[in-house]
Amino acid sequence: MRLSLVIALVACVALLPACKRKEEPKPVATATTIHKSAPSAPAPIPAAASKTIPQPEAGRFNVAFVYVGPVGDGGWTWAHDQGRRFLEEKGAAHTAFVESVSEGAEAEQVIRSLARKGFDLVIGTSFGYMDAMEAAAREFPKTRFVHVSGFKSTGENYGSLFGAMESMKYLSGMLAGARAKADGQTKLGYIAPFPIPEVVRLANAVMLGAQRTCPECTLEIRWINSWFDPSREREAAESLFKSGAWVVVTGADTPGPVTAAKDAGRWAVGYDSSNACSFAPERCLTTSYWVWGPVYLKLVEQMKAGTWKATHEYLEVDSGIVGLYGFMEGQSPPPGVPAEVVPQVKEVLGRMRSGAFTRFDVFAGPLEDNEGRQLLKAGEKPEHADLEGLPGCKVCMSWLAKGVVGQLPARK
């Protein structure tokens, strides 16, 4: 589900040594003042002028990936690059990538250049690439385009793809709430990139899950207005801990908040990659993560067979696209997880993986927002358009769940 990217970084957190940034970090908006195996050393972000467009390989099915962050971010982009490597390992395609591509004009330039080079498939992995990919699809009808986290499609050569991460966030909320309750605490925190439906529904899912294990818990949000900014992600986590949050759940791209939890003697929940907890395992409760390899392999196989359809595909938990660290096959819950909540999480996860509990069940009624308005009655469930905030939605994702502190900032 990525809008703007800081081009160079300050030396920030132990996670990102030797990195520099040109601008001072922007203030972190608080919820009360809002205005609407990973590499140990993440790679630096290349300057826009240094972008090199790779070449396809003759006689192969060629797939190009466009990343919003560096492949060594330890989160969102790293997870996608694992998917790209999976394609290579399976011999399904020749792959290439361009990393740290800013949303907007740069993204459009890179995407068009890849199509012009002759790649069979271009995969864009940031929300803000959506319109640029749509424009390129019209210009290059023989090239296939798949946009991850968007919702547009043409029915011809441009499709979109995402998965039910809100279900994993719901389980993460259950774990966060259980940890807080076990420690006699009631304050949770969430780091949110942008006030768009994708981000809002994930934050709401955390709160709804937490209500299940800690009805008295509240959730305070920090809006950082960036998908990838290690220094601001850590600053947001530190701000939440200082305001009293006992567990911080991150919705941004790096494991920085996990290391911040270690330093603060508090708890964190990671995001995006399966090994986000490895940066501070003693203070990480879990991480909700993406499994892109098999999904990308299926796409390529369908395209080779001529059966792919350019639609908007939103995969449920039973597809295998998402996971919850510590609760999948061969994994054990991290040591910080209260023993009494483990059976509850495993039971709900099992129902999700069997298809019996979907993302629509996460938001099933009775559902109330944090202003006391009833959104859904008992037995009612939202529709896809509601969760995505699409035209025609009735319970559009422009609200915050009961228990969340503050209001949504205005979208810029």
Does domain 48-163+292-319 fall under CATH 1.20.1440.230? My reply is: no
Tell me the HSE value of 390 on the side-chain side, using a 13 A CA sphere.
11
Confidence check: pLDDT of 149 > 60: yes
Which phi and psi angles does 286 have, rounded to 5°?
A: 180, 180
Q: Is 410 exposed, middle or buried (0-12, 13-18, 19+ CB in 10 A)?
A: exposed
Q: What is the 3-state secondary structure (H, E, C) of the chain?
A: CCCCCCCCCCCECCCECCCCCCCCCCCCECCCCCCCCCCCCCCCCCCHHHCCCCCCCCCCCEEEEECCCCCCCCCHHHHHHHHHHHHHHCCCCEEEEECCCCCCHHHHHHHHHHHHHCCCEEEECCHHHHHHHHHHHHHCCCCEEEEECCCCCCCCCEEEEEECHHHHHHHHHHHHHHHHHHCCCCEEEEEECCCCHHHHHHHHHHHHHHHHHCCCCEEEEEECCCCCCHHHHHHHHHHHHHCCCCEEEECCCCCHHHHHHHHHCCEEEEEECCCHHHHCHHHEEEEEEECCHHHHHHHHHHHHHCCCCCCEEEECHHHCCEEECCCCCCCCCCCCCCHHHHHHHHHHHHHHHHCCCCHHHHCCCCEEECCCCEEECCCCCCCHHHHHCCCCCCCCCCCCECCEECCCCCCC
Banded pLDDT at 51 (limits 50, 70, 90): confident
Residues near 157 by beta carbon (within 8 Å), at least 6 away in sequence: 137, 140, 141, 142, 143, 144, 145, 310
Banded pLDDT at 50 (limits 50, 70, 90): low
Q: Count the neighbouring beta carbons within 10 Å of the beta carbon of residue 55.
A: 13
pLDDT of residue 31: 34
Q: Is 357 exposed, middle or buried (0-12, 13-18, 19+ CB in 10 A)?
A: buried
Q: What is the pLDDT of residues 330-366, one digit of tens each?
A: 999 999 999 999 999 999 999 999 999 999 999 999 9
Handedness of CA 208, 212, 216, 220 (dihedral sign): negative
Q: Count the neighbouring beta carbons within 10 Å of the beta carbon of residue 389.
A: 17
pLDDT of residue 74: 86
pLDDT of residue 40: 37
The span from the CA of 119 to the CA of 96, in Å, is 9
Confidence check: pLDDT of 309 > 50: yes
What is the radius of gyration, based on Cα positions, of the chain? 20
346 or 11: whose pLDDT is higher? 346
User: Percent of the chain scored above 70 by pLDDT?
Assistant: 87
Question: Domain extents for the chain?
Answer: 48-163+292-319, 165-290+323-405
Q: What is the pTM of this model?
A: 0.87
165-290+323-405 adopts what CATH topology?
Rossmann fold (3.40.50)
Banded pLDDT at 35 (limits 50, 70, 90): very low
Mean of the per-residue pLDDT values for the chain?
89
pLDDT of residue 57: 97
Q: What is the pLDDT of residues 237-255, one digit of tens each?
A: 999 999 999 999 999 999 9
pLDDT of residue 26: 36
Q: What is the pLDDT of residues 95-132, one digit of tens each?
A: 999 999 999 999 999 999 999 999 999 999 999 999 99
Average pLDDT of the residues in 264-269: 98
Confidence check: pLDDT of 48 > 80: no
Handedness of CA 389, 391, 392, 398 (dihedral sign): positive
The span from the CA of 307 to the CA of 147, in Å, is 18
Using left for φ > 0, alpha for ψ between -120 and 50, and beta otherwise, residue 244 falls in left
Confidence check: pLDDT of 41 > 90: no
pLDDT of residue 2: 43
pLDDT of residue 127: 94
Q: What is the pLDDT of residues 359-383, one digit of tens each?
A: 999 999 999 999 999 999 999 999 9
pLDDT of residue 412: 61
User: Cα 28 vs. chain centroid, distance in angstroms?
Assistant: 20
Banded pLDDT at 410 (limits 50, 70, 90): confident
Q: Tell me how many degrees the CA angle 79-84-86 measures, rounded to the nearest 5.
A: 95
Bridge-partner residues for 122, per DSSP?
64, 145
Which phi and psi angles does 211 have, rounded to 5°?
A: -60, -25
Q: Count the neighbouring beta carbons within 10 Å of the beta carbon of residue 369.
A: 17
User: Percent of the chain scored above 90 by pLDDT?
Assistant: 85
- The answer to whether the 48-163+292-319 and 165-290+323-405 domains have the same CATH topology is yes
Banded pLDDT at 86 (limits 50, 70, 90): very high
